[in-house]
């Protein structure tokens, strides 16, 4: 087929072609190398990454002043990345981070982006996950759960959703950060949950993905946030899950990585925001099969065990939102624990080895850190979510959390194996168990 006339080439098409050229040149160079050199290229440079991350906790250049309202996020991105690499934290580091985040904790609840800044749901999520990642008694006991719960109540909008901060915007991100924090700290109740599901339902688009707010475009980050929230509030059966799967499987591009929206460029951060959707979906098999059965009016389309079947799903649905087979959960905060223990009976619904190849060869900086795509610079944000996506890939075929040491899918040397995460909260799994035990005793 002849190439499209230059006049018909859009900016997006031109940028896509440039990215493909850079990525495929890297892959071609890799394929032309001797086997020993390929092995070296496929290694995760853990020591260099740890050095880059640790230095970021100690000192940042003046250019980071633009992130002054995101300092808890910097803590989370760095600490979570180090935890994924299996790095431990010494007492001095824990003391310094706890002291700093305590200064960010508002007297009336929640955490701001820095000392003296107004509390915000996003930085509250980052602060809580940072303290959970540290995991020590001083870190966990520094969280004022009573005042944090009061803050969440103040952010609850009468319509059911949440605001990011006082008089701030309402979106799916706000719902996720509020519900995630309440769930993992064992303070989630039906008052916080009320009508949240209605708002997220209104954000699922005709494409199948979830937008940030009603009427907007489906987006990978918001789709993860919306799906995870609906699981945590025990209303995931209300979403059109076949349509959601149909949307997300097509977000993996020819490069092996994921794009965040339709017709956008690949980006390493979506290794988690899109890739992290799949371990959630795989634990919802029974609900998905029931929805498929309703769509096909009792036809034989019942066994969801091959990825190609997902791509053939009929999105013309009637009455999916009324599915009533809902697990009876007495304590909403137990959902995260029950979910990670749930059996998974199907393999990956995406090409997990292709994603690992993209992350390691195209996003990894061998001197430390990860980037969006070739040609971009490294940063702590992409380092965090590229490593989180790698962890998802490595453990995607596990049947449940109890089989962690028996079935990893690691591209490259076994030394590449990272720590497993809890897919709903994106914290290292053993830190999740630790915080559950700590707060269950209070």
> What residues act catalytically?
219, 261, 264, 267, 269-270, 372, 379, 382
**In the 8-state DSSP scheme, what is residue 378?**
E
Mind giving me the DSSP string for 272-303?
HHTTTHHHHHGGGHHHHHHHHHHHTTS-STT-
Sign of the dihedral defined by the CA atoms of residues 355, 361, 364, 368, in that order: positive
Contact criterion met (CB below 8 Å) for 424 and 432 = no
CA 223 – CA 249 distance, rounded (Å) = 12
Cα separation values, 95 from 48, 60, 78, 141, Å: 24, 19, 16, 12
Contact criterion met (CB below 8 Å) for 18 and 10 = no
Mind giving me the DSSP string for 400-427?
SGGGTTT----SS-GGG----EETTTTE
- For the chain, the farthest-separated pair of C-alpha atoms sits apart, in whole angstroms, at 69
Contact criterion met (CB below 8 Å) for 413 and 358 = no
**Helix, strand or coil, per DSSP, at residue 399:** coil
CA 244 – CA 237 distance, rounded (Å) = 12
CA 38 – CA 41 distance, rounded (Å) = 5
**Helix, strand or coil, per DSSP, at residue 308:** helix
Residue recorded with tokens 């009508």: 195
* Beta strand 370-371 pairing with 378-379: antiparallel
Sign of the dihedral defined by the CA atoms of residues 344, 390, 174, 214, in that order: negative
Q: Which two tokens stand for residue 300?
A: 């034989």
Backbone angles phi, psi at 76, to 5 degrees: -65, -50
Contact criterion met (CB below 8 Å) for 263 and 12 = yes
């Amino acid at each position: 087929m002849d190439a499209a006339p230059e006049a018909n080439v859009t900016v997006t098409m031109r940028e896509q072609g440039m990215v493909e050229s850079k990525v495929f040149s890297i892959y071609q160079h890799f394929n032309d190398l001797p086997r020993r050199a390929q092995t070296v290229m496929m290694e995760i440079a853990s020591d260099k990454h740890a050095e880059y991350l640790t230095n970021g906790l100690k000192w940042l250049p003046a250019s980071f002043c633009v992130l002054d309202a995101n300092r808890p996020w910097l803590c989370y991105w760095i600490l979570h990345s180090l935890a994924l690499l299996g790095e431990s934290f010494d007492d001095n580091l824990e003391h310094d981070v706890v002291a700093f985040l305590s200064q960010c904790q508002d007297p009336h609840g929640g955490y701001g982006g820095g000392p003296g800044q107004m509390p915000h749901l996003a930085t509250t999520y980052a602060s809580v996950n940072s303290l959970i990642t540290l995991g020590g008694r001083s870190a966990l006991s520094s969280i004022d759960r009573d005042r944090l719960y009061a803050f969440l109540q103040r952010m609850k909008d009468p319509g059911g959703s949440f605001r990011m901060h006082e008089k701030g915007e309402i979106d799916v991100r706000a719902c996720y950060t509020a519900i995630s924090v309440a769930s993992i700290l064992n303070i989630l109740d039906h008052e916080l949950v009320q009508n949240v599901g209605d708002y997220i339902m209104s954000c699922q688009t005709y494409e199948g993905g979830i937008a940030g707010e009603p009427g907007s475009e489906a987006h990978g980050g918001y789709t993860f946030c919306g799906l995870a929230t609906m699981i945590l509030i025990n209303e995931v059966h209300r979403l059109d899950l076949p349509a959601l799967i149909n949307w997300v499987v097509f977000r993996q591009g020819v490069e092996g990585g994921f794009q965040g929206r339709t017709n956008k460029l690949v980006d390493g951060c979506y290794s988690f925001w899109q890739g992290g959707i799949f371990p959630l979906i795989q634990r919802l098999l029974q609900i998905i099969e029931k929805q498929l059965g309703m769509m096909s009016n009792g036809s034989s389309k019942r066994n969801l065990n091959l990825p190609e079947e997902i791509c053939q799903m009929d999105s013309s649905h009637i009455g999916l939102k009324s599915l009533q087979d809902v697990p009876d959960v007495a304590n909403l905060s137990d959902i995260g624990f029950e979910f990670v223990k749930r059996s998974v009976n199907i393999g990956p619904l995406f090409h997990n080895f292709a994603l690992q190849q993209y992350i390691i060869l195209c996003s990894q900086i061998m001197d430390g850190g990860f980037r969006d795509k070739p040609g971009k610079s490294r940063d702590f944000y992409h380092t965090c979510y590229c490593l989180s996506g790698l962890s998802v890939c490595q453990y995607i075929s596990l049947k449940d959390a109890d089989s962690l040491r028996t079935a990893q899918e690691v591209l490259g040397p076994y030394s590449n194996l990272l720590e497993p995460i809890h897919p709903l909260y994106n914290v290292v799994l053993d830190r999740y168990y630790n915080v559950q035990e700590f707060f269950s005793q209070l």
